[in-house]
Copies of this chain bind each other. A is one copy, B any other.
Amino acid sequence: MVPHLVTALTGPINELEQRVLDSMPAIERWFRLEWMEHTPPFYCSVDVRNAGFKLAPVDTDLYPRGWNNLTPSMLPLAVQAAMAAIEKICPEARNLLIIPENDLRSTFYLSNLAQMRRIFHMAGLNVRIGSINPELKKSTVLKLPDGETLTLEPVTRTKGRIGVKDFDPCTILLNNDLVTGVPGILEDLNEQYLLPPLHASWSTRRRSTHFKTYEEVAKRFGKLFGVDPWLINPMFDRCGGVDLGTDDGVEALKARVDTLLAKVKKKYKEYGIKEKPFVVVKADDGHNGMGIMTVRDGKELSVLREKVLARAKATRGSTEVDLIFQEGVLTHERMNGAVAEPVVYLMDRYVVGGFYRMHAERAQDEDLNAPGSSYVPRAFAESTHLPQPGLRPGASAPNRFYMYGVVARLAMLAASYELEATDPEADHHA
- Spell out A's residues near B (CB within 8 Å): 24-29, 31-33, 35-36, 72-73, 75-77, 79-81, 83-84, 86-87, 91-94, 121-126, 350, 382-387, 389
Instruction: Say yes or no: B24 contacts A121, CB within 8 Å.
Output: yes
CA distance A79 to B91 in the complex (A): 23
**Residue from the set A122, A350, A389 with the largest chain B CB neighbour count within 10 Å:** A122
CA–CA, A387 and B24, complex, Å: 34
Check if B29 sits within 8 Å of A386, measured CB to CB.
no
Given contacts A32-B86, A76-B383, 16 further A-B contacts (CB under 8 A): A24-B122, A28-B83, A29-B94, A29-B124, A32-B91, A36-B87, A72-B383, A72-B386, A75-B386, A76-B384, A76-B386, A80-B350, A80-B385, A84-B84, A121-B389, A122-B386
**Given known contacts A73-B73, A122-B24, A124-B28, is B35 in contact with A87 (CB within 8 Å)?**
yes
Cβ B91 vs Cβ A386 within 8 A: no
How many whole Å from A94's CB to the nearest CB in chain B? 6
A36:B91 contact, CB within 8 angstroms: yes
Residue from A33, A35, A87 whose CB has the most chain B CB atoms within 10 Å: A87
B29 & A93 in contact (Cβ 8 Å cutoff)? yes
Instruction: Give chain B nearest CB distance to A30 CB in angstroms.
Output: 8
Q: Which 4 A-B pairs have the closest CB atoms?
A: A28-B124, A76-B385, A76-B383, A73-B73
Contact of A79 among B125, B382, B386, B389 (CB under 8 A): B386
Instruction: Kindly list chain B residues whose C-beta atoms are within 8 Å of the C-beta of A123.
Output: 28
Q: Tell me, in angstroms, the Cα distance from A295 to B311 when the chains sit together.
A: 85
Contacts of A31 in B (CB 8 A): 124
A397 CB, min distance to chain B CBs, angstroms: 12
State the Cβ distance, A166 to closest chain B Cβ, in Å: 16
Q: Which of chain B's residues has its CB closest to A123's CB?
A: B28
Contacts of A91 in B (CB 8 A): 32-33, 36
Q: How far is the CA of A86 from the CA of B32 in the complex (A)?
A: 9
Q: Say yes or no: B77 contacts A32, CB within 8 Å.
A: no
Rounded to whole angstroms, the CA-CA distance of A75 and B383 in the bound complex is 9
- Smallest CB separation, A344 vs chain B (Å): 13
In the complex formed, the residue of B with least CB distance to A126 is B25
Measured in the bound complex, the distance between the Cα atoms of B385 and A35 in whole Å is 26
In the bound assembly, the distance between CA atoms of A383 and B77 in angstroms comes to 10
**Closest residue on chain B to residue A96 by CB atoms:** B25
Closest to A33 in B: B91
Q: How far is the CA of A87 from the CA of B91 in the complex (A)?
A: 18
| Chain B residues whose C-beta falls within 8 Å of the C-beta of A84 in the assembled complex | 84
Tell me whether B124 and A24 are in contact (CB under 8 A): yes
Partner of A122, one of B32, B35, B124, B385: B385
A75 adjacent to B122 (CB under 8 Å):
no
